[in-house]
Amino acid sequence: MNMVLLFIMTTSMMSLLILTMINILKKKSILDKQKMSPFECGFNPMSFSRIPFSIHFFIISVLFLIFDIEIIIILPMIITMKSSMLMTWMLTSTMVILILLMGLYHEWNNGLLNWTK
């Protein structure tokens, strides 16, 4: 118990020391208009550097990432079907699919699946 406490205290003190050294030694940067503006061959910028994008594109990309995570969760369930008890596997897979269906209903109910408006 004492060794664990000593290890925790040592690592926390070392991390605190490293963070303090980083804050002391870091390069100070002065944020001004010239340094923060985009460089276009010495001329003033012709347009904004940050062009707004469509929120529909953002929602589609987030839903695609969620879909990828769902596939990552479902694929190992198929592989483990033979090596686990059938009742436990059925209960787990039913709960996962039920949670995914509830998420789909929530997205549908909030109108996130309407691609054209």
Model confidence at 35, pLDDT cuts 50, 70, 90, reads low
Q: What is the pLDDT of residue 25?
A: 80
Assess contact for 16 and 9: CB atoms under 8 A: no
Q: Which residue has the higher pLDDT, 62 or 53?
A: 62
The reported pLDDT for the residue numbered 18 is 93
Cβ atoms of residues 63 and 107 within 8 Å: yes
Q: How many residues does the chain have?
A: 117
Q: Hey, what are 1's tokens? A: 């118990």
Model confidence pLDDT, tens digit, residues 10-24: 999 999 999 998 888
Is the per-residue pLDDT at 113 higher than 90?
A: no
Residues 79-85, mean pLDDT to the nearest whole number: 85
Give backbone dihedrals phi and psi of 40, rounded to 5 degrees, phi first.
-125, 75
Local confidence band at 46 (pLDDT 50, 70, 90 cut-offs): low
103: phi then psi, degrees, rounded to nearest 5: -65, -40
What percent of the chain is predicted at pLDDT more than 90?
17
